[in-house]
Structure 1
Amino acid sequence: MSDTESGRPRRALGPFDDDDVNDDDLLDDDDVSAEPSPSRAWTVTESEPSDADGGRTDEPEVSTPIPPPAPALPEPLQPPEAGRRFSAEPVADDAVAGAPRRSAASVSSPPHLDEAATPPVGVDATEGEPATTEGETAQNPRRRMMALIAAAVAVVVVLGVVLWLTVGRSGTTATPATTSPTASTTASESPSATPALLDANQLLTSADLARLRLKNTWTEAPPANGAAPTPACIELASAGGVSPDAEASRRFTGSADGGVLVQVAQAMADVQAATTAYEALLNQAGGCADAHLLGAYQIDGLADSATVLTTELSDGTRHTMLISRTGRFVGVIDAAVTKIPAVGVGALSRAAASSLARQCGNATGTCPSTPKAAATLPPATDPVGWLAWVDVPQLTPGEGKWTATDAKAPSLVGSQCEDVSLNKLPGTSESAHRTYLLTDDSKAPDGFGIDQAIYTFSKASAATAMAKTLDDNFKSCGDRTRTATVDDGGVTATGADGAKFTGTSYTVTQRISATKTVTFRVGVTAVGTRLVYLLANPSANFDFTDKAWEALVGRAAQRVTQYQ
């Protein structure tokens, strides 16, 4: 109090509206008394005079007994700061302090009539030293600021430790974290689980197959005979030589054309294992003993590697089989129908894109963009470079088996139109010959088969020149022999990276008597430094179609590029 002010004591503020209360002036709700405010006056604790007054202030008289006094506060060294609850100013003789507001449990509130007097909150009754209360801490801006800073630092430290434990360790691959249930999980909040590496949710759906084949609806169906769905011509257990980390499969049936679609996907340990499995699956499908391999197609824009093979099995079903690898995942989709045409290569690739898009993230592989199909070489077979069983069609549905001799020096007679020695073709550096025989076909004539010879030249131009010589000789055979009739047709085939091969197929009919003829089918194609020659001996009632023979000549051209 300044020297110019009155000598009257400072008094507590009278009651005011709750809307004017500052929260900083209130203690926590737990410290608020539930008792009503007393209706009588109470005694203000005797305080020492300030240095300015130099005298003592007598205690005011009251008409009621005085409770035991609280311990006296120590004499302040300087005038009290704003916000202190006790006045250091002298109190006038006639001053009576009114009861303070009880809206906040102040240390200066009087006790209830039935309660024993207790020291103010925060004061040690035995030592008489004041203690810091929560109210005082809240009212001290400096303490509040320090408390806020300390809390902020603690939060930053905790967050830093959590982040370091989560992603701060170098040299690891990010994986979905496992979340286990905690006590805070409520009935409406189910704890999150680690996403499955590979499951049925990543496979094809009926909606994905809606445009696979016109007028055909595909419906998910249980596996036949309760066994896991298996694509044709493939043994999944032996693919790659190792077991997958996870596997998922699904089977669909079509509403028409006897359609059945099977999808199997496998998650391998790593990309290398998946690559090995992919090549093994491709070789299995490409060398299926029960299939005639019709075509092979490379699919770009679908996965890291993808190939479609079209085949016809001995039961007459036509299969369009997509084999793919994306990251560490490998998969097979086998779509089969009993009526031609087979499921389209492009249609199957586009449908598969939906499933592979759901797999590529977990597989850490290439995701689909716009799939594009292009004809390519079929998977190599053993022995490499020669026709395989899968290349030769069945002439009687469900019957027949092809066998072959080992490669040896040529021993050929030919169709009598070649006009050169097939056993020692001019300009060759080496040559070999195999014979394929058809057995177990009730309709095949005795000795029905195919001869294949491969001739190697020192230059590609020499091989091309010999092919041209043979072509001229076949076309002039009728005029030259007077006994032969020759029909020819052009052959084209596609190699690796879109390379084009050309050749010619010939049908030669030789009259051996006035009433008898013999027929030969011949094929000639030059690929690089090699020339391939094919010869078959059909009969009037047992023969290849023109289209099938032309396809076989084209396949021989593809195979010879794999020759070693």
Structure 2
Amino acid sequence: MDEQDGPTPRRALPPRDEVPDTDDVLDGPDPAAHRRGAWSATSEPGGPAPATGGTPIPPPAVLPASEDAPARAGRRFSAMDLPDDEERPLPRRSALSPDATRAMSPRTPDPELDPAVGEAAQPRNRKRLVLGSIAAIAAVALLVAGIWWFAGENGPGGPRATPTPTIDPVATYLMQPADLAGVRPDTTWEAVTTATTLDAATPAPKCVTPVPELEAQPADTLVRTFSPTAGDAGGLLHQVETYATPEEATAAYAARVAQLGACERNTAWVQGGLDMEGLGDESTGATIVLQAGQPEYHSILVSRVGTRVNVVDATQATQAPEVAGLLAALNATFTRQCGDNGTCPSPSATIADGVPPAVEPFGFLAGVDVPRITAAAGEWRGTPVSTTVTAPGTRCEGVDLTQAPGASGAQQRTLLLQDDAAAPAGFGLDEVVYTFATPEEAAGFVATLAANFDSCAGRTATAEVARTGDLTGAGTGTAFVVTRQVDQAETRARFRVAVLAAGNHAIYLMANPTPEFDFADEPFHTVALRGAERLTQLP
């Protein structure tokens, strides 16, 4: 393209009022009725712990008493011998014998009249009484045992069911302080709050909110928060949602992942993704920083184990918690959860850096991929993807950006920074993605652009070009800062540019800062490489 020294338009960005709200929502209190309480986990350790929230777990249920009537006790018999000298009643005699005496009774011989009979009869009487008593007791015992046998396990009601053990869901499905032993070196953790019934005060993980449009809502939700007992401030929140079927849980998991990808907090800058292998049925995650007045760093993981969807939000004040330390805690927790359904953790489960969860429009930068310039102000909003390229470029590219040679197609999206009073009018990013037949062609196009930038100052006296870094990662390329005179009044424009090749695609990225309002080199390089990561999520 012929170089021109005439005036150059600053941007081809659409007016602010015409930009549709396709990315994040506004920061601040959510007016939605389902908003739960804010969770501040980075207060100084050692202070008094908040009272445990929610409804306490009821004690194990007690089985009802059996309705079977108890067996009646058998009659008792006394084996005690009567005294030998007791006067026993004689049998009734006829009135015709008034002078009858004891000796006349055929059942009771008189020992005085027959000493031999008296001496032999007394032991035999006692022996018969003892043996009779023993036999009676044995009969009663057999009777009681028979009643128990027929009225019990083998009675008309059949075998009785073994009581099902009562499961404590808090102890089974939620993380326990002992599970967190490896999260931070030499640090123990304590449970601060535990909720079994949600209300407005129940803490909630960042970026993830209830999904009222889901066809099936969770049958129950448990939430527990933890804090370290010593060392740097920090915290951890674990939320478990239980659904009726694995299919319902799968739909809820997908909704949670989409929420994490876009993050409803417009202050969030997603710094990276987390690839989780071997942890339950499905798992993913991301590390983010909330760019408020005081940055807050979070590692957020979403997992599904059978019918349960887990969200773990670990936070620190100065950097995101190391996710490798969470692996043991997740393993222990998911091993308890998979006891009734779901895939148990693998002994070789891993957590590693990866691409953040996908966000629409797939394949392009999102608002959460770009940092704020002013710490506590501004939000990024994007236009729909267009097949018409309108990016004006810097006039150092040396090619027509609207018709890249050899490209089979080109698409553009623009991100604009809003609600930052310090930002120049129309400040934002143009992203153009070119598609080529082969990776070699895409790499050749990027090499041509980089060479033209490097030589621009020699070809045009009004241009200054500084290479700020070589980019390697999901894509490879180069980043530049270009300053040019744009009119006869010597007005100068500043641009940040990055060009990358990723597979059979090439990315052209341009921002229009000023010397007073600009990205630092490293964050801009991170944004450019994120663009290459997003290309891997094209449908």
Give yes or no for TM over 0.5: yes
Q: Is the 8 A contact 1:327 1:366 kept in 2?
A: no
| Pair 1:238 & 2:235 matched | no
Which structure has the higher relative contact order (CA within 8 Å, separation 6+)? 2
Aligned to 1:67: 106
TM-superposed CA distance for 1:68, in Å, is 5.0
Separation in structure 1 between the aligned mates of residue 392 and residue 316 of structure 2, nearest angstrom: 42
Map Cα deviations across residues 89-139 of structure 1 (whole Å, 9 max, x no partner). xxxxx9996445456545999xxxxxxxxxxx9xxxxxxxxxxx968x99x
1:311 aligned to 2:357?
Answer: no
1:284 aligned residue (238, 259, 279) = 259
1:354 aligns with 2:332: yes
Cα offset, 1:367, TM superposition: 3.7
Provide the aligned length of Structure 1 versus Structure 2: 429
1:76 is aligned to none
**1:485 aligned onto 2:465:** yes
Question: Hey, what does 2:167 align to over in structure 1?
Answer: 195
Matched, 1:454 2:425: no
2: CA distance between counterparts of 1:218 and 1:516?
A: 59
5 Å-filtered alignment, 1:389-468, equals 389-408=367-386, 409-468=388-447
Greater gyration radius: 1
Which residues of structure 2 form unaligned runs of 5+?
1-73, 87-101, 109-115
- State the identity %: 32
Deviates more, 1:471-480 or 1:246-255: 471-480
Aligned-partner SS, 1:323: strand
Matched to 2:483, the amino acid is Q
Name the CA distance, whole Å, in 2 between partners of 1:320 and 1:548.
19
Structure 1 counterpart of 2:450, one-letter code: D
Give the superposition deviation at 1:337. 2.4
1:16-35 correspondence runs (5 A): 30-31=76-77, 33-35=79-81
CA contact (8 A) 1:200 1:248 kept: no
Deviations 1:193-231 (A, max 9, x none): 6324x3366423444334433576644334899701111
**How many angstroms does 1:333 deviate by?**
1.6
Quick one: structure 1 residues 350 and 464, their matched pair in 2 at CA, closer, same or farther if it must change by over 3 Å? same
Mapping of 1:108-123 within 5 angstroms?
Answer: none
Q: Helix, strand or coil: the match of 1:423? A: helix
Q: What residue identity is the alignment partner of 1:232?
A: K
Q: 2:441–2:504: 8 Å Cα contact kept in structure 1?
A: yes
- The residue number in structure 2 matching 1:385 is 363
**Is the 2:272–2:288 contact (alpha carbons within 8 Å) kept by the matching residues of 1?**
yes
For residues 24-83 of structure 1, the C-alpha deviation after alignment (integer angstroms, 9 at most, x for no partner) is xxxx9955531247589xxxxxxxxxxxxxxxxxxxxxx9444359xxxxxxxxxxxxxx
Following TM superposition, by how much is the alpha carbon of 1:520 offset from its aligned partner in structure 2, in angstroms? 2.4
Q: Which runs of 4+ in 1 moved over 6 A?
A: 151-156, 223-226, 513-516
Q: What residue is the counterpart of 1:296 in the other structure?
A: 273
Shift of 1:561: 2.3
Q: Which of residues 248, 251, 255 is equivalent to 2:225?
A: 251
The one of 196, 203, 209 equivalent to 1:229 is 203
C-alpha distance in structure 2 between counterparts of 1:281 and 1:414, whole Å: 38
Map of 1:523-534 to 2, 5 A cutoff?
A: 523-534=498-509
1:141-156 superposed matches below 5 A? none
Following superposition, the deviation at residue 161 of structure 1 comes to 4.8
TM-score, normalised relative to structure 1: 0.65
Asked if the contact 1:309–1:321 (Cα under 8 Å) also holds between the matched residues in 2, the reply is yes
Which is further off, 281-290 or 526-535? 526-535
Partners in 1 of 2:171 and 2:213 — Cα distance?
21
Instruction: Report 1:322-333 matches (<5 A).
Output: 322-333=301-312
Name the CA shift for 1:406/1:153 in 2 (closer, same or farther; >3 Å).
Answer: closer
Quick check: 2:81–2:126 contact (8 Å CA) kept in 1? no
Distance in 2 of aligned mates of 1:364 and 1:383: 32
Matching of residue 375 in structure 1 with residue 353 in structure 2? yes
Q: 1:213 to 1:156 in 2, by over 3 A?
A: closer
Secondary structure of the structure 1 residue equivalent to 2:524: helix
Structure 2 counterpart of 1:8: none
- SS of the residue corresponding to residue 162 of structure 1 reads coil
TM-score, normalisation: structure 2: 0.68
> Match of 1:162?
159
Aligned to 1:130: none
Q: Deviations over 1:433-456 (max 9, x none)?
A: 122221211222222211011112
Deviation at 1:329? Answer: 0.9
Residues 1:522 and 2:466 are matched in the alignment: no
Q: Secondary structure of 1:524's match?
A: strand
* Change in 2 beyond 3 A, CA 1:467/1:365: same
TM-fit CA distance, 1:327: 1.3
Corresponding residue SS for 1:384: coil
What's the counterpart of residue 272 of structure 1? 247
Cα distance in structure 2, aligned partners of 1:418 and 1:459: 22
SS in 2 for 1:555: helix
The one-letter code of the counterpart of 1:285 is L
